[in-house]
Amino acid sequence: MTLQDIQKDIQEGIPSKVPPAKPYDSSVNHAPKRKQILSKEEEKLALKNALRYFPSEQHAELLPDFKHELETYGRIYMYRYRPNYKLHARDIKEYPGKCEQAKAIMLMIHNNLDYAVAQHPHELITYGGNGAVFQNWAQYRLTMKYLSEMTEEQTLVMYSGHPMGLFPSHKDAPRVVVTNGMMIPNYSKQDDWEKYNALGVTQYGQMTAGSYMYIGPQGIVHGTTITVLNAGRKIAKDGEGLAGKLFLTAGLGGMSGAQPKAGNIAGCITVCAEINEKATQTRHSQGWVDEVITDLDELVMRIKTAKANKEVVSIAYQGNIVDVWEKLDEENVKVDLGSDQTSLHNPWAGGYYPVGFSLEESNKMMAENPEQFKKEVQKSLVRHANAINNHTGKGTYFFDYGNAFLLEASRAGADIMAENGIDFKYPSYVQDIMGPMCFDFGFGPFRWVCASNDPADLLKTDEIACQVLEELQKESPAEIQQQMADNIQWIKGAQENKLVVGSQARILYADALGRMKIAEAFNKAIEKGEIGPVVLGRDHHDVSGTDSPFRETSNIYDGSQFTADMAIQNVIGDSFRGATWVSIHNGGGVGWGEVINGGFGMLLDGTADADRRLKSMLHWDVNNGIARRNWARNEGATFAIKRAMEMEPRLKVTVPNLVDDSLFD
């Protein structure tokens, strides 16, 4: 299709005529069949809900097709409405529309659905097994049409993938407001997602899938690199590095695909198990994992050789992670660092596969005998935990990577609890590393996307960001010198590490001052014509955006880790301080009903208006979380918020008075 044809297709929205059915493409990585959870009356309701996108004279033709999808896949995806053009991030100038901000959002939606980026592109799922951009292709088409028509005095309202419509607003309002999975609290169990998603009335947006801010596995490479580096520092003796040390983990499908690349950057041996051969081959073909091994004995020999030679290498094991932990225990191979990034927020629908079964056998059991599948998953989790316990008894440092591994293992009855019977035996990586070292000081995953889609622009932004950080480091206090040094090292190596998958994007951990200074420098470069427009964003896995007691807020100890005020305040505050779009989600990372998370996107176009917006919004977006962490008596956050108040006289935050524990003796 020509560019003109693509633009016309976007502007048309849902076609006036029913398009021909499309064959099921087995070469694409598809979502597993969802379990049949609807009653006959509810199936009828799901079909009526799907048909309401189309004129009544088309219902008789579409009904058998949608009924087949619901029976075959457990969802109505409307495959026949998939566009015929390739979805990927284009130059912002190529999108039709009246509003540059709306064009930026179209670009980001296309990036989330790019075959090189999305985990299950035909099911509109970006990562995590169920992290969806939309529920069906009619929603995609209608949303793109609305965006192509939008002016700067309208806001598009998105209800869990459904575009409710364009509403009058004003130029300082967000152009899009997104909610995903915002259930009444008593309806946030796992089966509730299955039911209401099957009905077509809600979706799991993960974190950056349903908020249009996913940038491929690069989005987590930096955080994983920092985590592995600092985990290595925790076990290091006399300043030794990670050379020759083994990091064992699992998952290569979505965000987890970053692990082998991060291990290479950190300088260790990484073994990452993956049950899905398509996911393994994708990461290998992209250069994100060096080698693929399918035999356990061969794997053991390869690890021993790599340890002896102190190699830096990443190896994908095509198979189940439980087998690897058990085999290395039997062979007495030392695992120095251990973790897991399978999608255990989604344990019963493809997020974790039981040991002893092939992928095909598991998917069949999942759809046809879900209760047995659940039993097998829980048996595997017990074995998984037992093998880890054996290794930690030999000196392995194991940390939970916030994927709900410890949570689901505990629910399965695994020996995973601490002696007090309340806490887990192993720390979350946020508790041990990211919380006290990064989040409390305001450092988190700042992102930008070059809307020109020009690699030269990305190179220029890398250089600008590095210059800004090096200048800031000169004046930075001792408490954050390590964070500054790690991030400067990261950005200097970003090009050579070939991190781009999909859009011309970059991630960089920065605090509020760093984010504002970098964004300000970008905006000036855009004004001078040195680079094209830039979209700012972040992962929801950040200082302020997410309330998640088993991950992002697991180092909050005043009892408020089970509240969600911070995430809600964050998205409200971003919306009136200048964000181009905002989102708030139930679920993400650790599971439906376990977390509330929010994010934003902001277009920089070189104007004074963009400069005003970025300074107002980025300051709040970070300091909201620092203020909350300070109130929880986190020492680093109290230091950071006092520093922030010194720099901004209008900022006045309540600081806690510390209580002497001896009063309670």
- 542 in Cβ contact with 211 (< 8 Å): no
Q: What are phi and psi of 505, to 5 degrees?
A: -125, 160
Element (H, E) at 525: helix 512-527
Are the C-beta atoms of residues 522 and 604 closer than 8 Å to each other? yes
- How many angstroms separate the CA atoms of 377 and 385, rounded? 12
- 4 belongs to an annotated ligand binding site: no
Q: Is 24 annotated as a binding residue?
A: no
401 marked as binding residue? yes
* Amino acid of residue 377: V
Asked if 182 contacts 586 with a C-beta cutoff of 8 angstroms, the reply is: yes
Using alpha carbons, select from 141, 156, 138 the residue that is nearest to residue 102: 156
Q: At what angle do helices 455-475 and 512-527 cross, to 10 degrees?
A: 140
- Give every CB contact of residue 659 below 8 A, 6+ residues apart in sequence: none
Angle at the Cα of 565 (from 564 to 570), degrees rounded to 5? 105
Say how far apart CA 370 and CA 363 lie, in whole Å: 10
Instruction: With beta carbons less than 8 A apart as the criterion, state whether 144 and 95 touch.
Output: no
Based on DSSP, count helices (H) and strands (E) in the chain, helices before strands. Answer: 22, 17
Would the annotation count 274 as a binding residue?
Answer: yes
Q: Any binding-site annotation on 232? A: no
Beta-bridge partner residues of 163: 158
Strand 131-132, strand 534-538: pairing? unpaired
The sign of the torsion formed by the CA atoms of 447, 453, 455, 459 equals negative
Residues 6+ apart with CB under 8 A from 563: 547
Residue 128, annotated as binding a ligand:
yes
Q: How many residues does the chain have?
A: 665
Pairing between β-strand 269-274 and β-strand 337-338 as defined by DSSP bridges? unpaired
Residue ranges at the known binding site for NAD(+): 128-129, 206, 274, 401, 589
Residue ranges at the known binding site: 128-129, 206, 274, 401, 589
